[in-house]
Structure 1
Amino acid sequence: MNGVTDPIRQAESYYHLHLVSDSTGETLISVGRAAAAQYSVKPIEHVYPLVRTHRQLDKAIQSIEEYPGIVLYTLTDPELRNRLKIYCQNNGVPVLSVLAPVVRLFQAYLGGVPEPRVGGQHQLDGEYFRRIDAMNYTVMHDDGQHTDGLEAADVVLLGISRSSKTPTSIYLANRGIKTANIPLVPNLPIPPGLSELKRPLVVGLVASAERVVEIRRNRLLGLNASQPNDSYVDRDAVAEEIAFSRRLCARHGWPVIDVTRRSIEETAAAIIGLLQERRRKMFETTSA
C-alpha cells in the first residue's frame, strides 16, 4: 500500500468493502462511504454489526476470505480486534481501525487511558431523547400542520412545493433540531403569527425553476397523474412561485438557501451554521 494505483484494481468496476463493528456499524458506514465517494469505482458493502463473540467474528472472516477487499473495523474487545487484524495482515488484506487514530489524538491531548465502551455514542442519554423529541415534533409539524406550535421550533423552513422541505426537516430532526416546515403558495396568506416568531430561525428554501419543474414532473409521472398544461409544472408559473418566496423572505429578513445543487446534507449543514451563528449572537447580546 505505497500509494501507487494498482492498474488491475483501477480497471475493476467494483471492490468489496467489509465493515466489522461491535455496535450498530453506523460510524463505519459513514466513514466508509465518505472515503468511497472519492472514487468512481463503487464498493460492494459487507456490513457485520454487533460482532461481540468469536463465533460472530468467524462469519465476518469467512466472508472476507471469500470476497477479499478493504476491511474497516471498530472493535473494543482486544482479542477480537487482534484476531481480525492478524488474519488480515497474514493474508495481505488491507485493514484499519477507523477510531484508533482519533482516539490516540484525544489521548495525547487529554492524557490518561481511554475506557472502551461498545456503542458509547448510542447511549440512552439526554442527547438521545432530545433527538427522539425533535423527530416527534418535526413529524407533527410537517407541511404546515399545527402552526399554532411554531414558537417551540428551533427552525422553521419555508418553501414552495418540491423544494426539499420535508427531507431537510427530517435530517435536522435526526440531529436533535426541532424543525417545522410551511408550504408557500402564491396569493395565499402565510400562517398567522409566523412573522412574529421570536425563538425559531426561519429559513426560506428555493431552487431553480427548471429543477422544481423536473422534480414535479417526475412526481406526477410516479403518481400516473401527469398534466403537462397544469401550472404546477409550467416553467413561468413556477418561476413566479420562486419569486414570491424570495420577496416574502426579503420582506421579513429571513435568510434564503438555494438548494438547486445542494444535497439534503449540505442544505442541513448550511442551516445548522445559520442556527449556530444566530445562537452565538443571542448569547453575546444577553451576556453583554
Structure 2
Amino acid sequence: MTVSPHCLFVVSDSTGDTAEKVTRSALMQFGSASAEVKVFSRVRTTEQVARIVQEAELRSAVVIYTLVNPTLRSVIVGKLGEAKLRSVDLIGSLIETLSDFLHQEPAGKPGLLHQMGEAYFKRINAVEFTVKNDDGQEPRNFHKADIVLVGISRTSKTPVSSYLAQKGYKVANSPIVLDLDQPKELFEIDQSRVFALTVDAALLIRIRRNRLQQLGLPPDSEYAMREHVMEELRFARKLFSRNPTWPIIDVTTKAVEETANIIVSLYETRSASR
C-alpha cells in the first residue's frame, strides 16, 4: 500500500466526525489530489496533544483541530508553533469571537460542534435525497424516505417536500396521473409514512393556467380544463379511499410551511406510537 506524502491530522476532543467531514469536503476542491486523513478523537489530555504533535512533526502533517477546552487549545497552539507545523483551528476563533460578542463565557463542553455538525449534515443529506426523489423519479427509494407525499399535479408536493427536507426529513413524492397506477413500491413501505395532498378544483385550475402561461402554452390546454381537473381529483379521491391510513391534507388555504408543519406533527405522533 502506497502512503500519501500529504498527511492531514484531524484532532478533536469529541468524535472528530464533523471536523473530518469538513476536511474531506475541502479536499474535494482539489480533485484527484491524494491526501491521508488521520483522525484523533476524544483528545482530553496534554499528554495526548504532545504525542499527536510529535507524530505530526515526523510526518510533516497539517493539523486541523477542534478543541473547545481553552487549556488544551493553548497547549496545542504552543506545541504546533514550536514544531513549525501548519495548522487550522476550526472552532477556536469562532468561540472567542462569539464570547466577545455575547459577553458570555463558553461552556467548554466537548461534542457541541459534533451535535451541530450532525444536524447540518443530516439536513444536507435530506435535501439531496429529496431532490433526487422528486416527482416519483426513484420509487425504489421510497423505503428510505421518512415521508412520502402523493397528489395530483400542482398540489404543492415539491415545495412541501423541499421545506420538509430543510427540516432534516428525507422526502419522496409520487404524482397521481389519471388512469395510471401508483408504483408498487408505494404500497410496500410503512403506510403511516404516506401523506395525501389535495386542493380545491377552482384554485387548481387557476394555478395550472398560470403555469401554462409561464411555459408559453395555451391556457385552454386539457391540463387546465375544468372537466379534466375534476376527473383527476375524482381519480385521486378513489385512490385515497382505498388507502384509509393516508391522512388527506387540503392545501387550498394553506401556506407551504403550514402544510409541512401539519405533516411533521402527524409524522412525529405516528412515529412515537410505532
Q: Calculate the TM-score normalised by the size of structure 2.
A: 0.58
Cross-structure match for 1:251: 242
Q: Is the 8 A contact 2:178 2:232 kept in 1?
A: yes
Aligned residues: 175
Cross-structure match for 1:265: 257
Counterpart check, 1:242 vs 2:230: no
| Letter paired with 1:196 | E
Cross-structure match for 1:133: 125
Q: Is the 8 A contact 1:151 1:199 kept in 2?
A: no
Picking from 154, 161, 165, the partner of 1:169 is 161
Task: Indicate how the Cα distance of structure 1 residues 215 and 81 shifts in structure 2: closer, same or farther if over 3 A, else same.
Answer: same
Deviation digits for residues 108-129 of structure 1, max 9, x if unmatched? xxxxx87499xx8997521111
Gaps of 5+ in 1: 1-74, 83-102, 104-112, 283-288
| Letter paired with 1:206 | T
Counterpart check, 1:181 vs 2:154: no
| Letter paired with 2:239 | L
SS of aligned partner of 1:158: strand
Deviation for aligned residue 1:237:
1.7
CA-based RMSD: 2.6
SS of aligned partner of 1:262: coil
Cross-structure match for 1:203: 195
Counterpart check, 1:146 vs 2:164: no
Picking from 173, 180, 185, the partner of 1:193 is 185
Q: How does 1:1-288 map to 2 (within 5 A)?
A: 76-77=98-99, 115=107, 125-198=117-190, 201-228=193-220, 230-253=221-244, 254-282=246-274
Deviation for aligned residue 1:231:
2.1
Q: Is the 8 A contact 2:192 2:270 kept in 1?
A: no
In the aligned structure 2, how far is the partner of 1:167 from the partner of 1:221? 20
Q: Percent identity?
A: 41
SS of aligned partner of 1:157: strand
Task: Indicate how the Cα distance of structure 1 residues 216 and 197 shifts in structure 2: closer, same or farther if over 3 A, else same.
Answer: same
In the aligned structure 1, how far is the partner of 2:166 from the partner of 2:180? 31
Deviation for aligned residue 1:240:
2.0
Q: Is the 8 A contact 1:155 1:203 kept in 2?
A: yes
Gaps of 5+ in 2: 1-96
SS of aligned partner of 2:242: helix
